[in-house]
Structure 1
């Protein structure tokens, strides 16, 4: 069982992200997740540094493995470019890089004016993108004439000795089937034992990573306030997170999410037993790795306390 720290590019500046990663390694976290966004979910979060620049910085600041959670290699950035970026990241980290991929959100992928495809088409695009990425990682010239993508004598020269694993994020049965078929692992953000079990059964026991957010603060109320101010968008139901196109739309929709609803959905405040119990839900669900992010300004206190009190108990 491995416990990692989740770096939220939507909420923190490049300097803060590196600060968190260094503190997480010192505290005993064993790996890093990092989000890949063009926009934050809302203006209050206020950040969105380029993930590939951040991975380069992190590779020099820490020795922890890094997974993108997750990159969408289908619309905003062509999979041939993602293949090059991920190969470079794997070299920079000495082979400690995992490419986490998913079908993405309109929030990030519509910015070049592309039509946002239906869910079924996005899954189809993701499968072709992963095939193309793996082909390019072989190091030969690739001329590709697919349904969704083309390349003309493309070749990646800077490559790691071994191609990075590709983990696939999945929500829903169709995506889960795809993840089990094409992924080297599974990514999810809920303590969903059924999804983990289904993935492992269909994939032959491949690993699963889970992620969760908490709001560390001196009091529970303060933590809830931070979470609701910054991440009320996480409480939106159904497919809204995949189809709303801008932070302003998320802000409008999240007005329907009450503070009480946020309070019911998160762990906030300083009660370490509650934090441990939440992570234990992910352990019990069958995940092989669990990544935890902090919401709000108290990330250093959260990282230090987890390292001292939570991680030893969980291990």
Structure 2
């Protein structure tokens, strides 16, 4: 089991993300996730750096592998452009880059004025996007593609790694999980859903790597941790498909009024207790994930990493040896 740190572009400045990446390596984390957004989920989060610039900077301060969690290569940015960005990231990281992809959210993808497609169309677009990107990474010479959703005209990526980039795909429901099992090199999710993970493995995923991520809220007290989690990341408590269809941070702020502080307290590990943070990993370990990523919510990221360096990570490795 590999334990990684999740960098939240929606909450921290570019300089903070770079410093957190460096500190995560020093603390003993083994890899990094980094989110890819145009907007934050709400104004309280307050940031949304361009992920490809951040990855370039991170490559210069630490040696950890990086996965985007996740990039949508279908609406806001053409897959040929994502293919170039990912290839450059892989070169900068000396091959330690994995492109995590998903069907995206209207929150980020509507900004150019495109109609937000239904989920079946988004999955169809994503599958074609993967075909385009893999061709650009693997074929010699120029690539042309005339598909249902995308056109590529004599394009060639000159700066690319020696090995094809691995693509990991998020799957939060059965349909997406089945597509991930069929076309991706790995699986990404944010819930300890053992049934979906098994579905991925049974339907073609086999022993491909499976990643999962979650958030904690370190603070000097549990009450403060709950308060900051509810204020900054209350959107995490929204049910169903709302996170995919709401188009702006203000809509998320309106919907989040339905999420109570008590609901946040019952679902988030908050405060400074190392034992509680260790226990937060248990559902993901028991579900059988290969890589588990943890993010901090709020201003105490450095303190959280210090706790993990001295107490949480050593205990997790003692109880879950490789």
**Common topology (TM > 0.5):** yes
Alpha-carbon distance between aligned partners in 1 of 2:195 and 2:275, rounded to the nearest angstrom: 25
How far has the Cα of 1:195 moved from its partner? 1.3
The equivalent of 1:153 in structure 2 is 154
Higher deviation after alignment, 253-262 or 65-74: 253-262
How far has the Cα of 1:30 moved from its partner? 0.5
Higher deviation after alignment, 201-210 or 81-90: 201-210
How far has the Cα of 1:56 moved from its partner? 0.1
Given the alignment of the two structures, is residue 196 of structure 1 paired with residue 197 of structure 2, yes or no? yes
Q: Which runs of 4+ in 1 moved over 2 A?
A: none
The equivalent of 1:115 in structure 2 is 115
Given the alignment of the two structures, is residue 221 of structure 1 paired with residue 223 of structure 2, yes or no? yes
How far has the Cα of 1:274 moved from its partner? 1.2
Structure 1 length-normalised TM: 0.99
Q: How do 1:1-315 residues align onto structure 2 when only pairs under 5 Å count?
A: 1-138=1-138, 139-202=140-203, 203-315=205-317
Alpha-carbon distance between aligned partners in 2 of 1:10 and 1:49, rounded to the nearest angstrom: 7
Partner of 1:267, secondary structure, is coil
Alpha-carbon distance between aligned partners in 2 of 1:163 and 1:269, rounded to the nearest angstrom: 42
Alpha-carbon distance between aligned partners in 2 of 1:20 and 1:254, rounded to the nearest angstrom: 28
Alpha-carbon distance between aligned partners in 2 of 1:281 and 1:240, rounded to the nearest angstrom: 24
Partner of 1:303, secondary structure, is helix
Alpha-carbon distance between aligned partners in 1 of 2:85 and 2:25, rounded to the nearest angstrom: 24
Alpha-carbon distance between aligned partners in 1 of 2:258 and 2:283, rounded to the nearest angstrom: 28
How far has the Cα of 1:53 moved from its partner? 0.1
Alpha-carbon distance between aligned partners in 2 of 1:226 and 1:302, rounded to the nearest angstrom: 14
Partner of 1:186, secondary structure, is strand
| Aligned-residue RMSD, C-alpha | 0.7
Spell out, residue by residue over 1:117-175, the C-alpha distance to the aligned partner (whole angstroms, 9 max, x if none).
Answer: 00100000000001110011014311100000001001100000001100000011100
- C-alpha contact (below 8 Å) 1:200/1:207 kept by paired residues: no
How far has the Cα of 1:201 moved from its partner? 2.1
How far has the Cα of 1:311 moved from its partner? 1.0
Partner of 1:19, secondary structure, is helix
Alpha-carbon distance between aligned partners in 2 of 1:220 and 1:197, rounded to the nearest angstrom: 34
Alpha-carbon distance between aligned partners in 1 of 2:279 and 2:194, rounded to the nearest angstrom: 16
Mark the runs of 5 or more structure 2 residues left unpaired by the alignment: 318-322
How far has the Cα of 1:271 moved from its partner? 1.4
- C-alpha contact (below 8 Å) 1:44/1:230 kept by paired residues: yes
Spell out, residue by residue over 1:42-89, the C-alpha distance to the aligned partner (whole angstroms, 9 max, x if none).
Answer: 011000000000000000011100000000000000000000000000
Structure 2 length-normalised TM: 0.97
Mark the runs of 5 or more structure 1 residues left unpaired by the alignment: none
Alpha-carbon distance between aligned partners in 2 of 1:52 and 1:225, rounded to the nearest angstrom: 32
- C-alpha contact (below 8 Å) 1:44/1:229 kept by paired residues: yes
